[in-house]
A = this chain, B = another copy of it.
Amino acid sequence: MKLSTKGRYGLRALVDLALNSREEAVCIQSIAGRQNISESYLEQLMRLLRKAGLIKSVRGAGGGYQLAKPAEAISVGDVLRALEGNLEAVECGAFQKEHPCEGADVCVTKYVWKRINDGICQAVDSIMLAELVEESRRIQDSHRGTIANVCSK
């Protein structure tokens, strides 16, 4: 029941990207350096984010990445789903029409799973990347001069 490093690193990387790219693209090396993430691993995560249409890449020397849309239009849910797949704690499908679970009609735990899943969605879909970026700027201002070491989570 844990979020993997993909989701954790990836979200941090995306906040970093939003924070550090104006016009120019930001390369993996610099993000990985600031965020203390392995370059080759981060590369994989960026691939996932690009495939999901959240960032766009610029190839070749001087290349890197940029957000594909404004940070206001990217939710934490978008990011985590791109990296982790769907965020359902239990994929029971009892409330879907497509692939409903066998015996869903005699199942009571389905109510539990739905409440958990809804709780998670509510949390991740209500936070936009822009809010994190904004908060991050505030923090950076107040820590000016301090070496900003990074959270390991």
Q: A interface vs B, CB < 8 Å? A: 1-4, 7-8, 11-12, 15, 76, 84, 87-92, 94, 101-113, 115-116, 118-120, 122-124, 126-127, 132, 135-136, 139-140, 143, 148-153
Contacts and interface: CB of A to CB of B under 8 A. Distances in A.
B124 A116 contact: yes
A125 to B, nearest CB: 11
Contact of A149 (B3, B84, B89, B102): B102
Contacts of A8: 90, 109
Number of copies: 2
A151 to B, nearest CB: 4
Given A1-B4, A1-B84, A151 B107 contact: yes
A124 to B, nearest CB: 6
Contacts of A135: 108, 111
